[in-house]
Amino acid sequence: MSNRERDGRWTEDRLVADVEQGPQGPQVGAFFDFDGTLIDGYSFGTFARHHLRSMHVTPGDVGRLLLIGMRGVTTEADFEQFFVLGMRAWTGRSEDELGELGERLFVQGIARSLYPEAWRLVEAHRRAGHTVVLASSATRFQVEPAARAMGVEHILVTPVGFENGICTGRPGGPPLWRAGKAAAVREFAPVHGIDLAASYAYSNGDEDVPFLEAVGRPRALNPGRGLAARARARGWPIARFRSRNHTGVTDVVRTVAGVGGMLGGFGAGLVTGLVTGGSRRDGVDLGITLAGDLGAALAGVHVDVQGAEHLAARPAVIVFNHQSQLDVLVLAKLLRGGFTGVAKKELASMPGFGLAFRLMDVAFVDRADGAKARLALEPAVQRLREGISLVIAPEGTRSATPALGPFKKGAFHVAMQAGVPILPVVIRNAGELMWRDSSTIRPGTVQVRVLAPVPTDGWTVATLDDHVADVRARFVDALAQWRPTVHEVRVATGPAGPVPDAPLDWGTAPEMNPLETAMWRAEDADPRLRANATMLELLDTAPDWERFRAAHEWASRMVPRMRQKVVEPALGVGAPAWVTVASLDLDAHVHHRTLPAPGSQRQMLDAAAEFAMAPLDRDRPPWRALLVDGLEGGGAAYVTVIHHSATDALGWLQLISKLHRDHPEPDPARPEPPVPDAGFAVPSALLTGQVSRTVTAAPGEVLRQGAGLLGSLAHPLATLSRAAAAVRTVGGAAVAPSGSPLLAARGGPWRFDVLDLPLAALRAGAKAVGGSVNDGLLAAVIGGFRRYHELLGAEAGDLPIGFPISLRREDDPQGGNRFTGARLVGSMAEKDPVERIRVVREFVLSARANPDVLGLLGPVMEWLPAPVVGAVSGRLSSANDVQVSNVPGLPREVYMAGARITRMYPFGPLPGCAVMLTLLSHAGTACIGINSDGAAVTEPDELVACLAEGLAEIVALA
């Protein structure tokens, strides 16, 4: 629960949920005050400004109104005097004339002050079948137009005096103010069968406490200080809506920046596209994308999209509900190019935007001349046939209220002629950030829902009206039944219904970090840098194939990352994005193999290595699995391969611990998340989005760097020491020590081998001389390679070993890669295992405090093309003869598809090194997976035996 909810403040979502979960039917009343509650401000002000401009009031009356307002309206007599002075301007005017004036002033002024949140709250009451009433101290000429626009049938208002159809300038009865409004509600209720105890009332005014007390569910909306205090004292819910009329200097500055970002982004994209040899359309598309991203970022506008997967159904006629001038920015950010549009002819001469619209081939229509408008749309049919979508607002103009206007048929005619679908884009709240005729943009999130495309096959002119009505009904339903996304605030009220099972919160980053980007791109430039990470799990029995396969389908719903592929930004620079695929071809990911007799361990390891080394399909989610049966003794092997850019070893273990079971039986209570919706990404949009984020973040980064510089100046010696360490690190990478000539060759097939020993024994041996398990492992590897060199008659010199240092903290998101690298140059000449552990221990402790090459170069790696990344990565990683990693595993026994896992062996990829050795602890056993390059290690059996002796040497220290 947020602080706002704890102090009695409710959100719009909670107010609506309260209505939906409360009593339904017409016996429940929903009474709304008007001024200050449904609209921001007072309708009287709009009328007063009109009367002043029209000279319908005297300066003396204006002065008296001001005096009463300054003194404060505290009694019924004060209100009646105030009301009579304001009504004098109506003296002598007919009822019809005042009705027409009220309608005109509502459209011209009052409508823009309507709170959209209050509008949706009224809609919620109407959906619940409640009897909705606007109860106001204002007159029906102020209130009735709003009630009609909102579909509200009943109003309770202060009557106006008429004689023979002419206004007398005096009230026609008691004003509905303070006790008068409460009395009117109590009189209305029995006549209309209203149960006031079950009814709602909403008001902002201190004077409306009696009105709120008349019902069982009072709500203080946008309350003044006095009402807020009374509401808190009585436990009434309080809600505040965003002001509609306040414009600050920051809003003006943000608007100027946003408009400048749009025009500048469009111009920059257009020029870039043309300079790089693209067509004008290529430049326009890049310009639209950059305009949307830069404009939105600088204006502080975010777009929350549901149904983005439907955007792939293009070309199409894209129809949207038009609320605001901000719709142009929203659509540019949403659609990312590939479209043209329709606009009123006046926009053709608009500075800046007129030229941009002409370059986009926008059709300018004369809304006053239907024949010319239809003629202007004819080229759009050809554009659609060329693959360019058409964006059009079927309402024809911006709505005066949040209500959806009638749809015109032009867009539907065009779609029918071109043979393309209608793609509905529902914009919920752009008007809340920039309302009709507003000149400033406010920061916030625009909520958009893209509905499923509507095919136009089989449409005819005779049936067109029905199709138009159908599409409009889809907009109405989407707006009426809008539900918050995961990005919006949810407040649970009342009895909770069944909650859909949620997937695991694992691997949720939408883009790769620099390290992941480097691993993904390096292998594209150099296949030797392939980053396929592998887990081999030995099973006590072969699981049922269908259950095994179904387990992966379930896991793909539990882990959305398993249904995401990688999409590269345009030009192959910037961070690749993770995008959910429309469907997962399970047969392309889950495989089965039976070993021929005798089904030895060597056969199984060779099958696993062959499966692991094969490149992953870069157009699919980067993982695959293999079930190997036919092993001696009836066992089986489960091999999973995942690209290292998806997760590091610790992240993988986090996932395994959640997906594997503690028992062999199926779990009937396991969560069953739905299949995630497909995503959508345009490479040019990915690039421009990242560029715009980088540009907008630059000022803050400069400030942070400046603050860091000032802090560094306060500690000059420490600063110089860190700088020197950084120089040494980069310099050391540039002149990395040459490894062993015996292991110099690279590029052979992968070879898998395994070792295991009691974890406690390895820990005890290392601990006996002041080391850790990791220290003992590194010392054992150096000792094992010393023996291997001696066995093959090679010089036992230096052995460069790379090893990861985890940067993962307990509160970090699960999955992904959070590690850095260090290099230890181990001396194989050192025969004493105690001395090796001491040297290793000192180095490991110092490595955590010093900068590393990955940390220094990481931020720029994602902005380098694949060939450069491959060259840099290859230079850094191939300088290591061996990579060693130690991963804490699972302390308990677990099961996969009913089979018990007896061993878990991890095999890291070979990023240019000769051998990758990884230890994972499983149920008290240190399981070691060894991946060796067949070109570098010519005698793998001997190497495994030597490494086993090196480990035994450490164990013996205990």
Show which residues are catalytic.
644
Q: Other CB atoms closer than 10 Å to residue 657's CB: what's the count?
A: 13
Task: State how far the Cα of 596 lies from the Cα of 631, in Å rounded to an integer.
Answer: 9
Element (H, E) at 564: strand 564-567
Positive or negative CA dihedral for 390, 393, 394, 396?
A: negative
Q: Letter for the amino acid at 951?
A: L
Q: Nearest-CA neighbor of 361 among 335, 334, 336, 391?
A: 391
- For residues 28 and 198, the answer to whether their CB atoms sit within 8 Å is yes
Q: Other CB atoms closer than 10 Å to residue 610's CB: what's the count?
A: 14
Please, how many CA atoms are within 13 Å of residue 8, restricted to the half-sphere of its CB?
Answer: 17
Positive or negative CA dihedral for 185, 187, 188, 194?
A: positive
Q: Letter for the amino acid at 836?
A: R
Q: What is the DSSP string of 130-149?
A: -EEEEE-SS-HHHHHHHHHH
DSSP state of 743: G
- Residue 598: asked if its preceding bond is cis (omega within 30°), the reply is yes
- For residues 557 and 675, the answer to whether their CB atoms sit within 8 Å is yes
Catalogue the long-range contacts made by 408-413 (C-beta closer than 8 Å, 24 or more residues apart): 409/464, 409/465, 409/468, 410/342, 410/373, 410/374, 410/377, 411/317, 411/319, 411/342, 412/317, 412/456, 412/459, 412/464, 412/467, 412/468, 412/471, 413/374, 413/377, 413/464
Q: Nearest-CA neighbor of 789 among 946, 594, 951?
A: 946
Beta bridge partners of 917: 884, 930
- Residue 315: asked if its preceding bond is cis (omega within 30°), the reply is yes
Task: State how far the Cα of 883 lies from the Cα of 55, in Å rounded to an integer.
Answer: 88
Q: Other CB atoms closer than 10 Å to residue 836's CB: what's the count?
A: 28
Distances (CA, A) of 944 to 798, 831, 938: 20, 19, 12
- 3-state DSSP assignment of residue 320: strand
- For residues 390 and 412, the answer to whether their CB atoms sit within 8 Å is no
Beta bridge partners of 303: 446
CA angle in degrees (0–180, nearest 5) for 523-525-529: 30
Q: What is the 3-state secondary structure (H, E, C) of 623-638?
A: EEEEEEECCHHHCEEE
Residue 643 phi/psi, 5° resolution?
-70, 135
- For residues 748 and 936, the answer to whether their CB atoms sit within 8 Å is yes
Burial environment of residue 699 by CB neighbours within 10 A (0 to 12, 13 to 18, 19 or more): exposed
Q: Which ranges of 109-192 would DSSP assign to H, the alpha helix?
A: 116-127, 140-150, 179-191
- For residues 836 and 957, the answer to whether their CB atoms sit within 8 Å is no
Q: What is the 3-state secondary structure (H, E, C) of 56-97?
A: CCCHHHHHHHHHHHHHCCCCHHHHHHHHHHHHHHHCCCEHHH
Burial environment of residue 154 by CB neighbours within 10 A (0 to 12, 13 to 18, 19 or more): middle
